[in-house]
A and B are shown apart, each in its own frame.
Chain A
Amino acid sequence: MNHKNETPEQRKYLAKRHAASRRFRWYGLMGLGIALTTLFLLLGTMLLKGYSSFFQTQIQLSVSFDQTLVDPVGDKSVESLARGDYRAILGNAIKRAFPEIKSRDDRRQLSKIFSDGASFQLQNLLISHPEWVSTSQNVWLIASDNVDMWVKEVVDHDLPESQRRISDLQAKWLAFLEVNHQLQLRFNAMFFTSGDSRNPEMAGILGAIKGSALTLLITFLVSFPLGVASAVYLEEFAAKGRWADFIEVNINNLAAVPSIVFGLLGLALYLNLMHLPRSAPLVGGLTLAMMTLPTLVIATRASLKSVPDPIRDGARALGASPLQVVLHHVLPLAAPGMLTGTIISMARALGETAPLLMIGMVAFIMDIPGGVMDPSTVLPVQIFLWADSPERAFLEKTSGATLILLAFLITMNALAVYIRNRVERRW
């Protein structure tokens, strides 16, 4: 703009101001770029590493379910089928598939390409298909983790034989199976339907997911009513003064306390004092509730504060009692904010490991928890456990579980964003 009275100094100063704001925009874009790159790198590596854990190597065998072996009682009942000798069935099936292999040592090597869980798999299959007794079926059986790693080419095929877990002989068989289309990478349903296991090919995260869900349920049930009630009391009813300030400072401090301290508190309070069961979602939930409560109170108070006073005044001027003002007007208006805050603190609780280590949720638990008193683990702890395991195959499981955890976190945060945007503020 050419202003009549503009001096060269003014023009220079103006140019400087514009340059400064342009620079500032670039700083912002750069920061954003770095953040996004990091995020995509993280997600990318996780996806690349973890993606393969959703698939596993399976080998097709023709299995004949010999009645004398699988159904000792002969009534095809679950009890009877459960007592069958599926190891023998598997052994026979392998023998039939490779009739040329006779030596005991080679046989052992051959059976090693199947997972220890393959016989359990046969058992489960038969229990769900009792009509298969005395028939032959082509079934896909899980390969061992070493085979899985070999097939996924995680291990270098060119290493000398002594340094790899798959012998040349085994590699030959696998190649043979693959040529016959009897070896495939198939969707790993087990990963989503079973609990932890010492065998990586059989390890699943359902136990951890359920444990997390139960723990979060407890956390929510305890911290949401308590948090909302205390926030409403502090914000709407408590007299402002030295006491209120004191409490506010303490709540803020509590929110900043490292989470492991809450774990110690949970250990002392729930396990040592109240003798609640170790590793139980109940204790985990209670511990996480303590950790979440301050954040929840702060978030709820912020959303209560954002409800404009004229709304309160309007209700009060019509003769609404303080409780009516809160229940009829303030809470409904603050609800979206409160829910967002709750979801975000729940998400934080979902990702929390440290306090749970202190109350024993780090134990190896194979069973899927049925209730809040059953020992269980949670997703982040499961990740921690797997990351610590020596087997090569657990590495991809770690990434896979991380992906699942991230998916849950992203879903929860997206839900929070959705609620925030959906409930438009109209005042």
Chain B
Amino acid sequence: MVGKNVNYSFETMHLEASQNTTPPRVKMEAKGVDVYYGDKQALEKVDLPVPLNRVTALIGPSGCGKSTFLKCLNRMNDTVVGCRVTGSITLDEEDIHSPTVDVVQLRARVGMVFQKPNPFPKSIYDNIAYGPRIHGMTRDRTELDQIVEESLARAGLWNEVKDRLQEPGTSLSGGQQQRLCIARAIAVNPEVVLMDEPCSALDPIATARIEELIDELCNKYTIIIVTHSMQQAARVSHYTGFFHMGELVEYDHTEAIFTNPQQERTKGYVTGRFG
């Protein structure tokens, strides 16, 4: 029987057994983030910490603002007409909207994987090499070859494509394409990887591959994943935030969100009951 004042959870014990025992450092943090599209407010006072080397899942019904929030983290909203972001979003305690932060550089540090696999209509090799090339990360072809191989290997795709690097990326299957996009994102060696419903267009086996990949990648990267599938959030993430009507309703350990949510709205959403 567990003693009186010891508050272990399965989650923390699992984590501490598999990783180091120090509590995770906050890698990115949103404080009081409001997002407006024109006059419409899409997000309201979102406070959300993103722990280092952990997977944070964002769940919620369609139009709840979770994707909008994700796009704020690498400023993909910048080009959206009429979109306004207020409040502070920090990456390693530096505001990503501060004038000293270059958006191009920010996106090299905060990579993104999209809902639909979107490989460039170029060869597999060029898909991966594109990021390192535009950021001038390599001095010669050998280095570039190495980055391409490493990224593909890390995305678990190397063995499947090593003999056909010059074939177009679009010739791969859906799941392979998505892993290609993940490899493309990690080729520029980002610190944070944002994933916007990365499995929604994939079959269960391809989905399982990606989930396994996420599990492996979180040792090296901080991952934030938006997903419609609560089972997926439960499977891959350590922390979960529930968005509803532009608010972050609840943020907690994933285990707590799915076994014992504190907010009525979370409970209703998670159990599939009318809210």
Interface on A for B, CB 8 Å cutoff? 239-241, 308, 310-311, 313-321, 324, 328-329, 333, 426-427
Interface on B for A, CB 8 Å cutoff? 74, 76, 79, 81, 104-108, 111-112, 114, 116, 118-121, 130-131, 134-135, 168, 170, 181, 184-185, 188
Contact between chains at B134 and A320 (CB < 8 Å) = yes
B218–chain A nearest beta-carbon distance, Å = 19
Contact between chains at A317 and B134 (CB < 8 Å) = no
Contact between chains at B114 and A314 (CB < 8 Å) = yes
From B79, B170, B188, A318 is in contact (CB under 8 Å) with: B188
Residues of A contacting B134 in the complex (Cβ-Cβ under 8 angstroms): 318-320, 324, 328
Residues of B contacting A319 in the complex (Cβ-Cβ under 8 angstroms): 104-108, 131, 134-135, 188
Considering the complex of A and B, which 6 residue pairs feature the smallest CB-CB distances, nearest first?
A: A310-B118, A317-B112, A319-B107, A318-B131, A319-B108, A314-B118
From B106, B107, B112, B130, A328 is in contact (CB under 8 Å) with: B130
Cα distance A129–B124 in the bound complex, in angstroms? 63
Contact between chains at A318 and B184 (CB < 8 Å) = yes
Contact between chains at A314 and B120 (CB < 8 Å) = yes
Residues of B contacting A315 in the complex (Cβ-Cβ under 8 angstroms): 120, 130
Cα distance A308–B118 in the bound complex, in angstroms? 9
- Nearest A residue to B132 via CB reads A318
From A239, A240, A321, A329, B104 is in contact (CB under 8 Å) with: A321
Residues of B contacting A308 in the complex (Cβ-Cβ under 8 angstroms): 118
Residues of A contacting B120 in the complex (Cβ-Cβ under 8 angstroms): 311, 314-315, 329
A234–chain B nearest beta-carbon distance, Å = 14
Cα distance A239–B104 in the bound complex, in angstroms? 20
**B79, B114, B134, B185: most-surrounded residue (chain A CB, <10 A):** B134
Cα distance A328–B130 in the bound complex, in angstroms? 9
A-B contact pairs, 29 of them (CB 8 A): A308-B118, A310-B114, A311-B118, A311-B120, A311-B121, A313-B114, A313-B118, A314-B114, A314-B118, A314-B119, A314-B181, A314-B184, A317-B107, A317-B114, A317-B185, A318-B108, A318-B184, A318-B188, A319-B106, A319-B188, A320-B130, A320-B134, A321-B104, A328-B130, A328-B134, A426-B121, A426-B168, A426-B170, A427-B170
Residues of A contacting B116 in the complex (Cβ-Cβ under 8 angstroms): 310
Contact between chains at B170 and A316 (CB < 8 Å) = no
Cα distance A317–B79 in the bound complex, in angstroms? 12
Contact between chains at B81 and A240 (CB < 8 Å) = yes
